[in-house]
Amino acid sequence: MHAITVSDPHAGLAGLTLTTQPHPHAAENDVIVRVHAAGFTPGELDWPGTWSDRSGRDRTPSIPGHELSGVVTELGYGTTGLTIGQRVFGLCDWSRNGALAEYVAVEARNLAPLPADIDHTVAATLPISGLTAWQGIFEHGRLETGQTVLIHGAAGGVGSIATQLAREAGARVIGTGRPADRETVLDLGADTFLDLDADQLEDAGEVDLVFDVIGGDIRDRSTALVRAGGTLVTIASPPSLQPENGRAVFFVVEADRNRLTDLALRLRDGRLRTILGAVRPLAEAPSAFNSPGRTKGKTIIQVAEGN
């Protein structure tokens, strides 16, 4: 089958290459999915699972792209809960091959049924961003109605969903981003927009939760904004600073079939939207992810057409 692979941990995005790979094997409780659409987050290339298996052994060439939407074509030994021909979407295990390929083997429990009226390209924008936003805001951040949350990168994949979820939960939302993101962020439901190029971060005042997707200096300076008992959640990298009287949490998103099902229903009901960017074929994935300049929305690779 055709797939995008990476072999050199130092090559960055330039290492994404179209190759031919063996058809995947369905292990116990796995399904094989014919991939219709797949997403990719550049941060994956820094994660250990891209380069080694769970025993720490080199597993290159590896196939990146760990969120997908597609159709089940095979069941592994003992697999229940999903059926051949079923539309599904979800996350692949970080230390196995991903979905920038025609077929992928995934543990069935990492996938959720996809309603018939959600397009595969839209569904593929949801697993990583949706689960990360939910887990960051509510599970690690413990955000409650009436609290204030500062969401960095609020126009991006994860931040745009976090903004909508936090707003719907009755929190006061301060979204940050580039100057051009103002309208998008306010339109997603943020009460206030903070332009990280022009405004002072400190203007946000004290907040119950900082949800950071950017890291570095912006994350470190945000630590001081966390009020006593509050939390800084970051998905960029482990934080070097802790809030004085609060917690700092870094986490990697986990699969969750029930939450995916809930997010898909929100999407279908119009309570949640994702920002779909360019849709490109598999062979163009290397150029799509290497294109210079800013692109709006999540780039999705369409591997197969149809429903």
Ligand X SMILES: NC(=O)c1ccc[n+]([C@@H]2O[C@H](COP(=O)([O-])OP(=O)(O)OC[C@H]3O[C@@H](n4cnc5c(N)ncnc54)[C@H](OP(=O)(O)O)[C@@H]3O)[C@@H](O)[C@H]2O)c1
Binding footprint of ligand X on the chain (CB under 6 A): 41-43, 128-129, 132, 153, 155-159, 177-178, 196, 213-214, 218, 235-236, 252-253, 294
- Decide whether 79 or 132 has the Cβ nearer to ligand X: 132
Count of alpha carbons within 13 angstroms of residue 139, beta-carbon side: 14
Least distance to ligand X, CB of residue 142, Å? 17
* Cβ proximity of 156 and 213 under 8 Å: yes
Alpha helices in 199-280 (DSSP H): 216-222, 257-269
Is residue 252 classed as helix, strand or coil in its secondary structure?
A: coil
Least distance to ligand X, CB of residue 99, Å? 15
Closest CA to 47 of 203, 251, 189, 228: 251
- Decide whether 24 or 39 has the Cβ nearer to ligand X: 39
* Cβ proximity of 93 and 67 under 8 Å: no
CA distance 99 to 85: 18
Least distance to ligand X, CB of residue 159, Å? 6
Least distance to ligand X, CB of residue 196, Å? 4
Classify residue 62 by its DSSP letter. B
- Decide whether 62 or 132 has the Cβ nearer to ligand X: 132
- Decide whether 122 or 128 has the Cβ nearer to ligand X: 128
- Decide whether 132 or 302 has the Cβ nearer to ligand X: 132
* Single-letter amino acid code for the residue at 208: D
Least distance to ligand X, CB of residue 227, Å? 23
